[in-house]
């Protein structure tokens, strides 16, 4: 869980550019920034999993699929309801997004532990 939380912090905050962060929440033109952001998650996750538990390599792709789905849902809500920094839902949307990402890490950690990782 700690490794996946570290991965999330690195990929979601340190390596996410403004182009990714702002672009993935737009009404149009969101696909490329979203894909780039989620590919960063895939790359960082795959490297860490291959180093620590290589037989679970496929979980990096599971994490990628869940991450792109969660972030697209957040972007859809943000663009549909014009959620920006001044909007009352802004922090709620960020909080739900982050909670879902951390629950994903928790679920993947349970899977690894339950399967001898």
pTM, whole model, 2 decimals?
0.95
> What's the Cα-to-Cα distance from 80 to each of 25, 26, 91, 92, 100, rounded to whole Å?
9, 9, 16, 15, 20
**How far is the first Cα of the chain from the last one, in angstroms, to the nearest whole number?**
12
Cα–Cα distance between 41 and 101 in angstroms, integer? 11
Report yes or no: 78 and 25 within 8 Å, Cβ to Cβ: yes
Please say if the pLDDT value at position 65 is more than 90. yes
pLDDT tens digits, 77-115: 999 999 999 999 999 999 999 999 999 999 999 999 999
């Amino acid at each position: 869980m700690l490794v996946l939380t570290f991965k999330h912090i690195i990929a979601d905050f340190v390596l996410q550019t403004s182009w990714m962060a702002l672009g993935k929440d737009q009404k149009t033109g969101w696909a490329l920034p979203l894909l780039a952001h989620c590919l960063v998650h895939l790359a960082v996750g795959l490297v860490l999993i291959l180093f620590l538990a290589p037989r679970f390599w496929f979980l990096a792709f599971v994490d990628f699929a869940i991450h792109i789905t969660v972030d697209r849902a957040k972007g859809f809500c943000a663009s549909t309801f014009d959620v920006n920094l001044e909007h009352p839902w802004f922090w709620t949307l960020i909080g739900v997004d982050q909670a879902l990402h951390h629950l994903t890490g928790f679920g993947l950690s349970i899977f690894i532990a339950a399967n001898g990782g």
